[in-house]
Chain A
C-alpha cells in the first residue's frame, strides 16, 4: 500500500507543475517526440523560455512518475505520454461516482 501511495504522490507532484502539464498536452497531440521537438513546441506555441536542460529535467520527473515513456530507436530517443498512472484516479473517485449515479438512474 505504501508503494501505491508513493506512486500516486509522484503522479500528483509531476502534474502539479504547469510546464509539465503543457509537455503532456503536446505529447497527447502526437507521441514519439524528440527532446528538440518538445523544446520547440514549448518555445513557439507557449512562449516558454526554458533551457533545454530544464525541459529535460521536467521530462525526467514525468518519466519517474510513469507519465512519460521513452523509446530508443537507433541513435534517436523518442518521448510519449503514458496515461496508465492516471487510471487509479479513475477507479478511486470518478468511476465509483459514475457507478453510483448509474445505479440511481437505472
Chain B
C-alpha cells in the first residue's frame, strides 16, 4: 500500500488553486469539474508523479468547526518539506504570506507555520538527513 494522495479542506477552491500554485509553487495535476466543485489536485514541481494534494471543498458543516478549532490553537493541517525553512520563510513573507510561527528550532527539526488563506495553517519543515 502506498500513500498517493492527501487532502486539505479549502474554503474556496479558486483561491486555493491560486495560492497553492502561484504562491507556494505547486503545479496542477488534475482539475476536473464535479457538479459545483472541482476534483483539484496539485503536486510538487520537481516530483510530478509524487504524492498529490487534493484541495477539497470544506462545505461540510463539520469541516468548518474542525478547521476553526485547529487554527485557534495554531495547529497545522499538514506539513510540507523544504530545503531551507528560513529561505522559504523569507520568500513567502515577501509575497505577503502571514506566518503564525517564524522559523524555530524544534529539537533536530526547524519548522515554521503559515496561513494558506483558505482556512488552514500549514507547517514547513527542514528535516536533517538521518
Contacts of A49 in B (CB 8 A): none
**How far is the CB of A53 from the nearest CB of chain B, in Å?**
11
Whose C-beta in chain A lies nearest to the C-beta of B74? A34
Whose C-beta in chain B lies nearest to the C-beta of A33? B101
Whether B68 pairs with A34 at a CB distance below 8 angstroms is no
With contacts A33-B101, A41-B106, A45-B107 known, is A77 near B72, CB below 8 A?
yes
Count of inter-chain pairs, beta carbons less than 8 A: 49
**How far is the CB of B94 from the nearest CB of chain A, in Å?**
21
In the assembled complex, A8 has its CB within 8 A of some CB on chain B: no
Whether B106 pairs with A44 at a CB distance below 8 angstroms is yes
Q: Which of B73, B104, B109 contacts A41 (CB 8 A)?
A: B104
Give chain B's interface secondary structure class: strand
Q: Which of A37, A52, A76, A78 contacts B104 (CB 8 A)?
A: A37
Whether B101 pairs with A44 at a CB distance below 8 angstroms is no
Whose C-beta in chain B lies nearest to the C-beta of A46? B107
Q: Interface digits, B91-111 against A, CB 8 Å rule (1 contact, 0 not)?
A: 000000000111011110101
Given contacts A34-B73, A75-B71, 16 further A-B contacts (CB under 8 A): A30-B102, A30-B104, A33-B74, A34-B113, A35-B74, A36-B75, A36-B101, A36-B113, A37-B100, A37-B101, A37-B104, A45-B107, A52-B73, A76-B72, A77-B72, A78-B100
In the assembled complex, A88 has its CB within 8 A of some CB on chain B: no
Query: Chain A, interface size: which category?
Result: 10 to 19
Contacts of B111 in A (CB 8 A): 40
Whether B74 pairs with A36 at a CB distance below 8 angstroms is yes
Contacts of B104 in A (CB 8 A): 30, 37, 40-41
**How far is the CB of A77 from the nearest CB of chain B, in Å?**
5
Q: How far is the CA of A49 from the CA of B81 in the complex (A)?
A: 25
Most buried by A among B74, B101, B102, B106: B74
**How far is the CB of A7 from the nearest CB of chain B, in Å?**
28
Q: How far is the CA of A77 from the CA of B75 in the complex (A)?
A: 11
8 A-B pairs, CB-CB below 8 angstroms? A30-B104, A35-B73, A35-B75, A37-B74, A44-B109, A75-B68, A75-B72, A77-B74
